[in-house]
């Protein structure tokens, strides 16, 4: 709006306020500040925030903004740290879809659920659980606040990922608002006579174009996802390794064997952090009760509760790489068979079976409180991630660990702790995620997410520009290393290389699509490296 006259700006504001209704158009300083930054840093200051409550409102508002020629910055739950919705210049309009939070249809006959893009993964989970249904991939740890639209734009993964893949594998169709305000249907409802999005590959996969696009091609409004009947039985395994290479190979082999819904490994620092958070006995008791309630049968329930209570938080040795699995199936016998096979795979690798407290408690309460945007002592954190084939797992880990080791003394001196989370995706992908923690002043997104209870007990650290600069430096080097491996990364945003490392033919195709649907480059310009 800074590029328009005062009169034109006021006219546009009035029109947007009329379209969006009370609470739908924000131009106060606090809202603009919040929507001008993510959980890593601030960018250009947005001129205003629109908060549509339906795809019709979104379409109408975008059409008005198109006449003014202003950039649009789509935003889901606002919980990312890759500058994906942060403008590089002042004057853009932030598009906050969190008021588009209705579940539009649950079709139990066709196992389809249609939702607005601002619905959270937790909303869907809670709505489907009483019906005995679930999404195959059913969200991220941040699914209490993370939205479906944001997850599809950023390659969301974790819960169910080891067996069913990522958010991209469960979406069948979308309604996407383009730069001019028009609504594009993808998947089967692109066909004029189709009534529902029950498949996405009748002809070229137009739905796939808008998965993992960082919101650079359009703004997701309505999404149809496939459902499944929830597994009848679930169990858990944990193992400890003293040797990192053995642990990585065991993780990959479990992935190749397709045994688990979740399969992940924590390095010693990550394991310690998972177990050493300040004890909240009210929360611990609630988790214990959830563990008990999810078990089938009275004896199993009592045994599960007793095992979790007895394990406590002090059962893992120093230097332990801990590997955790969630195994699920239609029968108890099937799950026990998978557990036996998992133990047989782990045994030659030297893994020691541990109490299964971490995966069991994680599934009992799968969506973290949003307070988790900071660490237990108020520290900030940001993560990086790379996905490679299993054969590249060890070379990737070795290369990144060597890079981190070169900076270790400086990281220690500035109080930066690097931990690692390793996972598998389906039976063919290995994921490596280094996480940087350091004490530093909080950003607006942290303040918005952290509860009053935590703010009352955890002090905000003072500004720490030296540690922050070091994190930026090491992070940038790791991003370059990931690119040299040809790795995939989720949450591309403006952090990872993408358009600039595509082969010329692929880049020309993507740029051509962008030009057709956004000829003035107004939808999230610069994301994916497009139209920066």
Question: pLDDT value at position 32?
Answer: 97
Which secondary structure element, helix H or strand E, spans residue 325, and what is its range? strand 321-329
pLDDT category, 318, cuts 50, 70, 90? confident
**Spatial distance between the Cα atoms of 524 and 493, rounded to a whole number of angstroms:** 9
Q: Which residues pair with 175 in a beta bridge?
A: 185, 222
- CB-CB contact of 281 with 346 (8 Å): no
Rounded CA-CA distance 529/506 in Å is: 13
Task: Tell me the C-alpha distance between 214 and 154, whole Å.
Answer: 6
Mean pLDDT value of segment 163-167: 96
Rounded to 5 degrees, what are φ and ψ at 371? -60, -20
Give the model confidence (pLDDT) of 379-400 as tens digits. 999 999 999 999 999 999 999 9
CATH class of domain segment(s) 371-492 = alpha beta
Q: Which fold has domain 6-98?
A: 3.30.43
Poorest-confidence range of 10-14, 232-236, 259-263? 10-14
Whether residue 290 has pLDDT greater than 60:
no
Work out the average pLDDT over 420-444.
97
Question: Long-range contacts of range 477-486, CB-CB < 8 Å, 24 or more positions apart?
Answer: 477/403, 478/384, 478/400, 478/403, 478/404, 478/434, 479/384, 481/399, 481/400, 481/403, 482/384, 482/386, 485/386, 485/388, 485/392, 485/395, 485/396, 485/399, 486/388
CA-to-CA distance for 364 and 167, rounded, in angstroms?
21
User: At 453, is the pLDDT very low, low, confident or very high (cuts 50, 70, 90)?
Assistant: very high
pLDDT score recorded for residue 311 = 47
Q: Each residue of 177-219: pLDDT tens digit? A: 999 999 999 999 999 999 999 999 999 999 999 999 999 999 9
Q: Which CATH number fits domain 103-229: 3.30.465.10, 3.50.50.60, 3.10.20.70, 3.40.50.300?
A: 3.30.465.10
* 286 vs 323, more confident: 323
With 0-12 CB in 10 A as exposed, 13-18 as middle and 19+ as buried, what is 405? Answer: exposed
- The residue with greater pLDDT, 487 or 294, is 487
List Cβ neighbours of 235 (8 Å cut-off, separation of 6 or more).
327, 328, 335, 336, 339
Q: Which CATH number fits domain 234-367: 3.40.50.2300, 1.10.357.10, 3.90.580.10, 3.30.70.3450?
A: 3.30.70.3450
Question: Could you tell me what percent of the chain has a pLDDT over 90?
Answer: 87
Provide the pLDDT confidence category of residue 77 given band limits of 50, 70 and 90. Answer: very high
Domain map (residue ranges) of the chain: 6-98, 103-229, 234-367, 371-492
Give pLDDT, residue 298.
45
Residue predicted with more confidence, 351 or 273: 351
Asked if domains 6-98 and 234-367 share a fold, the reply is no
C-beta of residue 129 within 8 angstroms of C-beta of residue 229: no
High-pLDDT (> 70) share of the chain, % = 90
Whole-angstrom CA distances from 458 to 141, 338, 493 are 22, 43, 30
How does pLDDT run across 494-520, given as a tens digit for each residue? Answer: 999 999 999 999 999 999 999 999 999
Q: Report the C-alpha gap between 133 and 127 in whole angstroms.
A: 9
Q: From CA 456, how far away is CA 463, in angstroms rounded? A: 19
Q: CA 351 to CA 507: how far, in whole Å?
A: 45
Choice between 473 and 275, residue whose per-residue pLDDT is larger: 473
Mean pLDDT for the chain overall:
91
Is residue 127 predicted with pLDDT exceeding 70?
Answer: yes
User: Is 64 strand, coil or helix?
Assistant: helix
Confidence of residue 99 (pLDDT cuts 50, 70, 90): very high
Handedness of CA 348, 351, 352, 358 (dihedral sign): negative
pLDDT value at 416 more than 80:
yes
Instruction: Give alpha helix (H) positions in 21-79.
Output: 29-34, 55-68
303 pLDDT more than 80: no
Indicate the pLDDT class of residue 271, thresholds 50, 70 and 90: confident
* Residue 314: per-residue pLDDT: 54
Per-residue pLDDT of 23-64, as tens digits, reads 999 999 999 999 999 999 999 999 999 999 999 999 999 999
Q: Is the pLDDT of residue 295 over 80?
A: no
Distance (Å) of CA 341 to CA 57, 102, 254, 327, 344:
53, 42, 9, 11, 5
pLDDT of 275 = 61
Candidates 452, 373, 381, 367; CA nearest to 415 is 381
Across 255-276, average pLDDT: 85
Q: How confident is the model at residue 317 (pLDDT cuts 50, 70, 90)?
A: confident
User: Nearest to residue 176, comparing CAs of 117, 119, 124?
Assistant: 117
Residue 274's pLDDT is what?
64
Sequence-distant (6+) residues with CB within 8 A of 63 are: 180, 181
Q: Is 26 left (phi over 0), alpha (psi -120 to 50) or beta?
A: beta
Q: How many CB atoms lie within 10 A of CB 71?
A: 23
């Amino acid at each position: 709006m800074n590029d328009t006259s005062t009169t034109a700006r006021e006219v546009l504001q009035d029109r947007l306020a009329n379209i969006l209704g009370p609470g739908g158009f924000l131009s106060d300083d606090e809202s603009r500040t919040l929507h001008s930054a993510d959980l890593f840093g601030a960018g250009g200051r947005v001129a205003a925030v629109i908060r549509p409550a339906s795809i019709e409102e979104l379409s109408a508002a975008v059409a008005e903004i198109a006449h003014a020629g202003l950039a649009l910055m789509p935003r889901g739950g606002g919980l990312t740290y890759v500058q994906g919705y942060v403008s590089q210049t002042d004057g853009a309009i932030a598009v906050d879809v969190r008021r588009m939070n209705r579940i539009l249809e649950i079709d139990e006959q066709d196992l389809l659920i249609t939702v607005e893009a601002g619905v959270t993964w937790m909303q869907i989970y809670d709505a489907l659980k009483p019906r005995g249904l679930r999404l195959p991939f059913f969200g991220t740890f941040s699914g209490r606040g993370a939205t479906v639209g944001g997850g599809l734009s950023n390659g969301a993964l974790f819960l169910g990922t080891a067996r069913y893949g990522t958010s991209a594998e469960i979406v069948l169709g979308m309604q996407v608002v383009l730069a001019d305000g028009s609504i594009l249907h993808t998947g089967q409802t692109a066909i004029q006579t189709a009534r529902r999005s029950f498949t996405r590959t009748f002809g070229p996969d137009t739905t796939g174009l808008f998965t993992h696009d960082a919101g650079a091609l359009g703004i997701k409004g309505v999404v149809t996802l496939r459902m499944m009947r929830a597994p009848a039985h679930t169990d858990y395994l944990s193992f400890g390794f003293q040797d990192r290479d053995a642990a990585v190979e065991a993780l990959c082999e479990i992935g190749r064997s397709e045994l688990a819904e979740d399969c992940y490994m924590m390095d010693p620092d990550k394991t310690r952090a998972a177990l050493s958070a300040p004890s909240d006995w009210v929360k611990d008791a609630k988790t214990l009760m959830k563990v008990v309630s999810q078990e089938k049968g009275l004896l199993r329930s009592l045994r599960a509760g007793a095992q979790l209570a007895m394990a406590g938080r002090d059962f893992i040795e120093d230097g332990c790489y801990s590997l955790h699995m969630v195994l699920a199936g239609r029968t108890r016998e099937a799950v026990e068979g998978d557990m036996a096979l998992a133990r047989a795979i782990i045994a030659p690798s030297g893994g020691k079976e541990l109490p299964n407290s971490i995966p069991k408690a994680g599934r009992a309460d799968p969506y973290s409180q949003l307070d988790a945007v900071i660490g237990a002592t108020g520290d900030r954190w940001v993560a990086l991630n790379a996905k490679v084939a299993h054969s590249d797992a060890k070379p990737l880990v070795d290369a990144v660990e060597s890079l981190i080791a070169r900076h270790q003394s400086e990281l220690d001196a500035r109080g930066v702790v690097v931990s690692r989370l390793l996972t598998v995706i389906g039976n063919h992908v290995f994921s490596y995620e280094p996480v940087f923690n350091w004490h530093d002043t909080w950003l607006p997104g942290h303040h918005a997410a952290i509860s009053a209870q935590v703010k009352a007990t955890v002090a905000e650290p003072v500004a720490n520009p030296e540690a922050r600069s070091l994190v930026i430096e090491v992070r940038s080097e790791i991003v370059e290393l990931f690119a040299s491996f040809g790795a995939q990364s989720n949450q591309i945003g403006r952090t990872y290389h993408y358009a600039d490392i595509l082969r010329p033919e692929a880049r020309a195709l993507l740029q051509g699509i962008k030009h057709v649907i956004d000829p003035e480059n107004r939808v999230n310009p610069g994301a994916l490296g497009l139209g920066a």
